[in-house]
């Protein structure tokens, strides 16, 4: 008989109620016997067209953490992945650590955030110079750059699509993503990453590695990778880049 659907690992995922990308991308990347279970943080205002509105969104997300966690843990997950990067980037290294500590205290589970997982993946490649892409407004993008630089990683270029709403992020076209990757690459960059969870890029990141000849990381792929590896699941998953296939 085959494995039961949840026999190996249950990953609890938390993301904004406006996010339409995390669930389908996680589902395509998980090996047999591993499942993801969603907790949606209610977003009553999805407009992110200014830095001030983005800050308001971040406060909404932080306020929604505890009630969403309380619902999610009733399915008894083994791991918690916070799939909303901007919130964890605010405050740099200390801000991300505070979010992870808060979630670990609430759940008593291993916790991954986009920033911490991306940093772990960067170190897995021994990369010291990176490019950071995002859909954020400029202030949130600056916080993402700050996070990596506080950890000793040089950001040699960064680009934001300046999405004006949390829903619109999912409609950024593959051509726009491809152009941003190519336009910000350079000989100095050892690795390129995209940090927004509602931007659909899992397969495109894998394809981009073929024509760039260097790692291209998508935050959802990295969150899956970290959850699997932290629980001793070493399955090689192809089609999404070298991280899941080789590390």
pLDDT confidence of residue 7:
82
Mean pLDDT, 10 residues at a time, the chain of 247 residues = 72 96 98 96 87 86 92 97 93 95 96 98 98 95 97 98 94 97 98 98 97 97 98 97 98
β-strand 154-160 against 129-134: which pairing, if any?
Answer: parallel
User: Do 123 and 215 sit in the same domain of this protein?
Assistant: yes
Closest CA to 184 of 220, 223, 141, 143: 141
Question: In this structure, are 158 and 141 located in the same domain?
Answer: yes
**Residue 183 belongs to what domain range?**
117-219
Task: Identify the pLDDT of residue 44.
Answer: 83
Q: How much is the pLDDT for 2?
A: 56
Same domain membership, residue 126 and residue 106: no
Domain count for the chain, please give it.
Answer: 2
* Total residues belonging to the chain: 247
Is residue 3 in some structural domain? no
Residue 125 and residue 104 share a domain: no
Q: What is the pLDDT of residue 6?
A: 61
Query: Are 93 and 185 within one domain?
Result: no
Statement to judge: residues 109 and 121 lie in one domain: no
- Tokens 């971040």 -> residue: 58
What are the structure tokens assigned to 6, written together? 């949840």
Tell me the CA distances in angstroms from 135 to 14, 50, 123, 150, 219, one per residue in order.
Answer: 19, 12, 24, 21, 12
- The verdict on residue 224 lying in a domain is no
pTM as predicted: 0.95
For residue 1, the model assigns a pLDDT of 45
Residues 102, 24, single domain; the answer is yes
In a domain, 62, yes or no: yes
């Amino acid at each position: 008989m085959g494995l039961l659907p949840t026999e190996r690992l249950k990953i609890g995922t938390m993301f904004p109620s406006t996010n339409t990308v995390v669930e389908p991308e996680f589902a395509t990347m998980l090996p047999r016997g591993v499942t993801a279970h969603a907790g949606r943080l209610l977003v009553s205002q999805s407009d992110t067209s200014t830095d001030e509105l983005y800050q308001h969104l971040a406060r909404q997300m932080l306020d929604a953490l505890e009630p969403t966690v309380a619902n999610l843990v009733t399915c008894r997950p083994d791991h918690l992945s916070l799939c909303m990067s901007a919130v964890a980037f605010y405050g740099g290294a200390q801000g991300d650590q505070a979010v992870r500590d808060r979630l670990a205290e609430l759940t008593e589970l291993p916790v991954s955030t986009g920033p911490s997982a991306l940093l772990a993946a960067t170190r897995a490649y021994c990369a010291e110079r990176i490019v950071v892409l995002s859909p954020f407004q400029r202030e949130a993008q600056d916080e993402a750059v700050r996070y990596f630089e506080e950890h000793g990683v040089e950001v040699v270029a960064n680009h934001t699509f300046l999405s004006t709403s949390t829903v619109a992020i999912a409609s950024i076209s593959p051509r726009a993503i491809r152009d941003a990757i190519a336009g910000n690459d350079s000989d100095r960059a050892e690795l390129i990453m995209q940090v927004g969870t509602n931007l659909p890029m899992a397969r495109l990141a894998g394809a981009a590695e073929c024509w760039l000849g260097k790692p291209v990381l998508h935050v959802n792929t990295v969150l899956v990778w970290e959850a699997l590896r932290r629980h001793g699941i070493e399955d090689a998953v192809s089609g999404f880049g070298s991280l899941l296939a080789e590390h």
